[in-house]
Structures are given as structure tokens and as C-alpha cells.
Amino acid sequence: MSLQFDPSTGKITYKGKEIGEHILKDGHSTVRLNIEYDGGDDWIVPLSWFAHGLSLLAENQPAPALLTVETSEDSIAEEFEVVRYLTEKQVKRGGYIWKFHKSDADDWPSPLHGHDYDKGLKLDAITGGIYDVGTRERCKTLKAGDLRSVQAELRASKDFEEAVAALIDNAAAPGPS
């Protein structure tokens, strides 16, 4: 049974119980939900689809990328056996497309990271670690040469050259003796 909505009252019900409401005030819509369900062992599946629905809202869309870097499937040096996010899908395409944002809202897995939104992955552009967004587990490692290529493209971008210098170049330089 799906959620039911009564447009005359704004009430949202599930299995006959009121679990939320829609409020329209001054042209602005607000939806409030309070839902409880017995999900047994599969409780996270409906929750992950609800989270997926929320992720589609305009305010939850990522900012436009300032730089996009593509790496190939064979640029992966190592893969790890880890549980991936429940909404994972197998993508049989040529490569990974990493999108970098200058002012990313978070700094996980590092302050310099790219997103492959289609595959639900993040690339740590400092170490080459690739992480599943849902589980936050490291699931792959980019080959060293491909990591250097990504870093070189970032270094060549006026928006990221300072971050590369601070986080990669200066960190790799030997300290004073």
C-alpha cells in the first residue's frame, strides 16, 4: 500500500494512519513526515529509496562541477571486497568520470576529492583511494600513474592549483632537516 494524500486537508496517510501533512503557505510547499514501519531484516531498503527520492529534490543537487576528469576502467590498481550501498547498480561503461567542486560542502574522504555520481563513488585525489558514497568504505585504488594524471589536471586548473600545491606538492616535499 502506498502513501495516500488528501488534497482537501493536506493530510498524508499510510495504512489508514496519519503520518504527515502538506502545508501550502504563501506559495511555499512544506511536507512533514513521521512514519513508523516494521521492516524486519529489510528495513533499510525502503529507507534507502526514500533517501534516493529526497536526493532528487532540486535543493539536494550538487553544485555544477568546475572540472571534470575522466579515468579509464583499467586505471584501477586494486579493488576491495566490501559491502556497497544498497542502490548500487553495475555500470558497464568505459570509464570513471570524476567531478570536482571548488567549494564542496564536505571534505570526505579528503579536502580534494572528485565524485563519480553515476557509480556512487568518490576519489581521494591525494591518495588515490576510491570510496563508496553510501557505505563510506574504500572499495578501489586508482593506479599511481592515473592518480598523477588526475593531479596534473587539477594542478593545471586555476580553481584547484592552490589546493594541489598545499595538499599534494607541499605535503610531498621533504621537511627541514
Instruction: Report pLDDT digits (tens) over 136-171.
Output: 899 999 999 999 999 999 999 888 889 999 999 987
Contact status, residue 118 vs residue 67, Cβ threshold 8 Å: no
Confidence at 177, pLDDT banded by 50, 70, 90: low
Contact status, residue 96 vs residue 123, Cβ threshold 8 Å: yes
Is the pTM of the predicted complex or chain greater than 0.95?
Answer: no
Confidence at 45, pLDDT banded by 50, 70, 90: low
Within 8 A by CB and 6+ apart from 84, the residues are: 120, 132, 134, 135, 137, 139
Delimit the domains of the chain by residue range.
4-60, 67-172
Contact status, residue 132 vs residue 121, Cβ threshold 8 Å: yes
| Averaged pLDDT for residues 11-32 | 86
pLDDT digits (tens, 9 = 90+) for 73-120: 889 998 887 755 433 323 323 488 888 887 777 889 999 998 898 888
Reply yes or no on whether the pLDDT at 44 is more than 90: no
First to last CA, the chain: 70
Tell which phi-psi region holds residue 139, choosing left (phi > 0), alpha (psi between -120 and 50) or beta.
alpha
The gap from C-alpha 32 to its chain's centroid, in whole angstroms, comes to 25
